[in-house]
Amino acid sequence: MPVAIGPASGIFGATWEDDGTIIYAEGNSILRIPEAGGMPEVVVGDLKGIPQTPQMLPGGAVLFTLVPQDNSDEPEIVVRSLASGEQKALIRGGMDARYLRSGHLVYFAAGTLLAVPFDAGELTVRGAPVAAADNIATGSVPGRVVGVAHFDVSRSGTLAYIAGSLGEITPRTITWVDRRGREEPLGAPPRPYLYPRLSPDGTRLALTIRDLEQDIWIWDMGRKTLSRATFDPADDRYSTWTPDGRRIAFGSSRGGEAGLWWQAADGTGTAERLAGFPAGRYTYLLPTSISPGGSLIVATATPSAPGIALSGSPDLWLIPLDGHGQPAPLLQTSFSERNAEISPDGRWVAYESAESGRFEVYVRPFPDLSGGKWQVSTDGGLHPHWSHNGDELFFVDARASASRSPALSGGLMSVRVERGAPLTASSPTKVLDGPYVWTLPAFGGRLYDVSPDGDRFLVLKDAASGDRPTGPTGVTVVQNWLEELKRLAPTN
């Protein structure tokens, strides 16, 4: 029977210490409370970030994960001396660290349990980390890093963990599928892919991979190789190609701001900042389309909102690429507008808006939107994308299906477009259906792309059970695990 021992809310991890106290993280502080009950005592207060999974170390220091308050950077595993107040980062990009009496730190990163020798007296790691166990499940909150992995190690050296995926980091495969439903796997290894974007010549594919690093990667169609394009520790997501295929633009939280950057697609040189908003004003600035002449980018900007949920209504912004102009609102209302795509002739822009009470796809003249507005979806629409010649406009059917999960609902729709004055569009027809990931609740970007000839579609598919871990089915227990750990990572 549970027993209340004290007031608490919003706890991110707790540890039962040998002296009979419980240490836990709450808000921006680390607290402790007697196991018999009482009032909590602040151990460390007013941290610059969100502490998670704290543990007391021998000698009077506390080990914990520190997540940036605005989720703008990677979590860090830090240690803080209670005597001196000195705090230092031990490991960047890891989370949920535990100190073991064998003289190791074990921690979680990208589905893997890592171990590294640790000097508890000097509060210093010794040597390089090694993989100790794979496929550890982790907690997940949309739009937020949660530094809690589902494992623990007993004092006697028994490891227990839950395997599988509990959150939004789901491995997926990339597949070509034509209008007749025939599939051809791309061959890229299963990863948590998002936002596939074909290069103008169709020879390369830019993707966001949503693992702990959150970077842009490039798949080479001919060589069948996957290479990392961005390396900054900040969150890099979305990408769009310049018309000549030489550069990719992407959104990034570098420097703690909602920023827009670009760099050479072949990995040479360094990334350059194009535009950005100060921290606290906007959460994301995400490029969705570049004009045919390469002079303008349309981006979605999401205003910051209090709390974990990103409840601000996104707007459409226009960013010049000459390096001199300033970002300017393209469409800014009290409703949500996002995912603008410029037509191949540069005269029109398609986007999705929730002005009717649900998302529908609209088309307007570009760049002056005052010349009219045409709704092209009729029963909910998301993620518009023009065909290569501009005569067809694709979008995702937003209607939920009772027989499938929200991620797999709907399908790909199409309208034929006559871009005269006024613009006319045919009734929507279903182009493609199937078990593909058309939309995800926590991510509002387009999850498909179209071949230059318009006959094939690049789609994401949750990895088959044989290619990825299944959902958690139980707890794995490994006895005498410390002996294996000493072999993998000797402390001497």
One domain, residues 399 and 316: yes
Q: How much is the pTM? A: 0.65
Residues 148 and 83 in one domain: yes
Task: Kindly report the number of other CB atoms within 10 A of residue 433's CB atom.
Answer: 16
Give the best-scoring range by mean pLDDT among 9-18, 54-63, 131-140.
Answer: 54-63
**pLDDT higher than threshold 60 for residue 415:** yes
| Arithmetic mean of pLDDT, 150-172 | 77
Indicate if 311 and 439 belong to the same structural domain.
yes
Both 187 and 49 in one domain: the answer is no
Mean pLDDT of the residues in the chain: 84
Residue with more model confidence, 92 or 179: 179
Tell me, yes or no, whether 298 and 437 share the same domain. yes
In the predicted structure, residue 55 carries a pLDDT above the cut 90: yes
pLDDT tens-place string over residues 365-392: 999 999 899 999 998 999 999 999 999 9
- Cβ within 8 Å of residue 208, ≥6 positions away: 193, 194, 195, 214, 215, 216, 217, 236, 237, 238, 239
Any idea what the CATH number is for the domain that residue 117 is in?
A: 2.120.10.30
Question: Do 438 and 397 reside in the same domain of the chain?
Answer: yes
Please check whether residue 407 lies inside any domain of the structure: yes
87 and 73 housed in the same domain: yes
68 part of a folded domain: yes
pLDDT at 110 over 70: no
* 131, β-bridge pairs: 114
Q: How confident is the model at residue 4 (pLDDT cuts 50, 70, 90)?
A: confident
452 and 336 share one domain: yes
> Taking 70 as the threshold, does the pLDDT of residue 112 lie above it?
yes
Instruction: List, for residues 67-76, the tens digit of each pLDDT value.
Output: 876 554 568 8
Domain count, the chain: 2
Residue 3 lies in a domain: no
153 and 213 housed in the same domain: no
User: What pLDDT digit, counting tens, does each position of 180-228 carry?
Assistant: 999 999 999 888 899 999 999 999 999 998 875 678 999 999 999 998 8
Instruction: Tell me: do 184 and 146 sit in the same domain.
Output: no
In this structure, what token pair is assigned to residue 37? 């009950």
Is 99 within a domain? Answer: yes
Torsion, Cα 130 135 137 138, to 10 degrees, reads 40
- Asked, for residue 38, whether it belongs to a domain, the answer is yes
The answer to whether residue 2 sits within a structural domain is: no
Tell me the residue range of the domain where 67 lies.
11-166+470-488
Segment 225-258, tens digit of pLDDT = 998 899 887 788 999 999 999 999 999 988 778 8
Residue-level pLDDT at 373? 94
Do the domain assignments include residue 6?
no
Distance CA 372, CA 384 (A): 18
Secondary structure of the chain in the HEC alphabet?
CCCCCCCCCCEEEEEECCCCEEEEEECCEEEEEECCCCCCEEEECCCCCEEEEEEEECCCEEEEEEECCCCCCCCEEEEEECCCCCEEEEEECCEEEEEECCCEEEEEECCEEEEEEEECCCCEECCCCEEEEECECECCECCECCCCECEEECCCCCEEEEECCCCCCCCEEEEEEECCCCEEECCCCCECEEEEEECCCCCEEEEEECCCCCEEEEEECCCCEEEECCCCCCCEEEEEECCCCCEEEEEECHHHCEEEEEEECCCCCCCEEEEEECCCCEEEEEEEEECCCCCEEEEEEEECCCCCCCCCCCEEEEEECCCCCCCEEEECCCCCEEEEEECCCCCEEEEEECCCCCCEEEEEECCCHHHCCEECCCCCEEEEEECCCCCEEEEEECCCCCCCCHHHCCCEEEEEEECCCCCEECCCEEEECCCCCCCECCECCCCEEECCCCCEEEEEEECCCCCCCCCCCCEEEECCHHHHHHHHCCCC
Of all residues in the chain, what percent carry a pLDDT higher than 90?
A: 45
pLDDT band at 402 (very low <50, low <70, confident <90, very high): very low
89-112 burial, b at 16+ Cβ within 10 Å, e below that, comes to ebbeebbbbbbbebbbbbbbbebb
Within-domain flag for 1: no
Same-domain pairing of 137 and 219: no
Q: Domain check: are 447 and 424 in the same one?
A: yes
